[in-house]
Amino acid sequence: MVWDAAGVTRKVILDVDTGTDDAVAIMLAALHPGLDLAAVTTVNGNVPLPATTDNTLRVLDAIGRPDVPVHPGVAHPIARRGFPGQTHFKRDSDRDMHGTSLPLPAPVTAARDTSAVEFLLHTLRDTTEPVTLVPVGPLSTIATVLAADPSVRDAVDEIVIMGGAHAYGNVTPSAEFNIWADPEAAAMVFSAGFPRLTLVPLDATHQALVTRADCAKLAELGTAAGRAAADLITRRIDAYSAGHGVHAADSAPVHDAVCVAYLVRPEVITTRPVRVEVETAGALTVGRTVMDVRPNATGEPNAQVAFQARAEVLVDLLLTTFGEAGQR
Ligand code: RIB
Ligand code: CA
């Protein structure tokens, strides 16, 4: 696969808790010619680990990429037992935007026997080229890898995380789901010293809303990816309309897809360097990403944080990529 002017594709590993928005992110990473999706690793999150792994396999089979290896990851938060990691809405209710199983055929392809933790350790220790890591679920698998060998961060040219919120969360007023579901893991990742950490919080993803009209265009592409994206995003719009709350009618954020879009269309977000710490103790604020945006901020920035995002860039990329992937 050769894509950019220098003839280089970017080697990417996605870490997912698939989920409707993870599904769109996976399709974008698997089908965009500028990305070499080396593997997908899974984690507990939107649904329990067996379902996030099964859903990931469904997505890759549906778009003709069963060759992308899927490695099952960590099934629970690293430091908490019984801490809620599942949906805060009744499963399969009209406000449950994921369901347990995605509405795609059951997978034919099986997950790999090697666990995500083993796979990531071996791959990052042995790689001769930089790897871009894109975690878009709770950070339990990535933190477990770092606990085993912190030096593997040096093989990662950039880690692009969907998570956190500055203005307001979606699980609590303070916390966004991915960080809240495993705050100790998130704290480890933010303090791990990655050479470049890009954070795409709710503040950005809530600006990149995809509409019902966009879904109609995706469906009209007539490709497997276009149809799947239209169905999954429509489900999200229905759930948001039923009470999730968005800023525009008949639209929804597709959080995780914004991270993948950024890899090939960086102008989809606007970032600034900020020091980010994760609250792990506050009774009301556990899982909050505390961002020091003060003019007189103290402490070294450890993240490039997106505070703006452009829906038109995201939608254009989805239409182009899923349209061109029609023959797959
Ligand atoms: O808060 C949004 C995030 O939580 C997304 O990654 C979604 O898939 C869930 O994991
Ligand atoms: Ca996710």
Closest CA to 163 of 147, 151, 179: 179
So what's the pLDDT on residue 98?
72
So what's the pLDDT on residue 181?
95
Q: Which domain holds residue 163?
A: 10-325
The one catalytic residue in 4, 15, 17, 203 is: 17
* CA 255 – ligand 2 centroid, Å: 8
Q: Answer yes or no: is the C-beta of 255 below 6 A from any ligand 1 atom.
A: yes
Q: Which ligand is nearest to the CA of 42?
A: 2
* CA 312 – ligand 2 centroid, Å: 21
Q: Whose CA is nearest to atom 2 of ligand 1?
A: 177
* CA 7 – ligand 1 centroid, Å: 33
Closest atom of ligand 1 to 19 CA is 8
So what's the pLDDT on residue 1?
38
So what's the pLDDT on residue 91?
52
**For the chain, what is the domain count?**
1
Is residue 27 within 8 Å of residue 59, measured between CB atoms? yes
Decide if 141 is inside a domain: yes
So what's the pLDDT on residue 146?
98
So what's the pLDDT on residue 243?
77
* CA 256 – ligand 1 centroid, Å: 7
Per-residue pLDDT reduced to its tens digit, 145-195: 999 999 999 999 999 999 999 999 999 999 999 999 999 999 999 999 999
Decide if 279 is inside a domain: yes
- pTM of the model as a whole: 0.95
Distance between CA 125 and CA 4 in Å, rounded?
27
Distance between CA 321 and CA 328 in Å, rounded?
12
How far is it between the farthest Cα atoms of the chain? Answer: 55
Decide if 233 is inside a domain: yes
Distance between CA 323 and CA 222 in Å, rounded?
8
Distance between CA 186 and CA 144 in Å, rounded?
11
Decide if 316 is inside a domain: yes
Decide if 19 is inside a domain: yes
Decide if 150 is inside a domain: yes
Closest atom of ligand 1 to 202 CA is 1
Closest atom of ligand 1 to 176 CA is 1
Burial pattern 28-66, b for ≥16 Cβ within 10 A else e, equals bbbbbebbbbbbbbbbbbbbebebbbbbbbbbbbbbebe
Most ligand 1 atoms within 8 A of CB, residue of 43, 46, 141 to mutate? 46
Q: Could you confirm whether 17 is annotated as catalytic?
A: yes
So what's the pLDDT on residue 97?
72
Decide if 252 is inside a domain: yes
Q: Answer yes or no: is the C-beta of 21 below 6 A from any ligand 1 atom.
A: yes
Collect the ranges in the chain with pLDDT lower than 70: 1-7, 82-96, 244-247, 326-328
Q: Answer yes or no: is the C-beta of 170 below 6 A from any ligand 1 atom.
A: yes
Most ligand 1 atoms within 8 A of CB, residue of 43, 97, 136 to mutate? 136
Q: Answer yes or no: is the C-beta of 182 below 6 A from any ligand 1 atom.
A: no
Q: Is 235 helix (H, G, I), strand (E, B) or coil?
A: helix
Q: Answer yes or no: is the C-beta of 19 below 6 A from any ligand 1 atom.
A: yes
3-state helix, strand, coil in the chain (%, to 5): 40, 20, 45
Is residue 13 within 8 Å of residue 38, measured between CB atoms? yes
Per-residue pLDDT reduced to its tens digit, 68-104: 999 999 999 999 986 655 444 455 555 567 778 999 9
So what's the pLDDT on residue 100?
82
The CATH code of the domain that includes 56 is 3.90.245.10
Decide if 3 is inside a domain: no
Q: Is 160 helix (H, G, I), strand (E, B) or coil?
A: strand
Closest atom of ligand 1 to 18 CA is 8
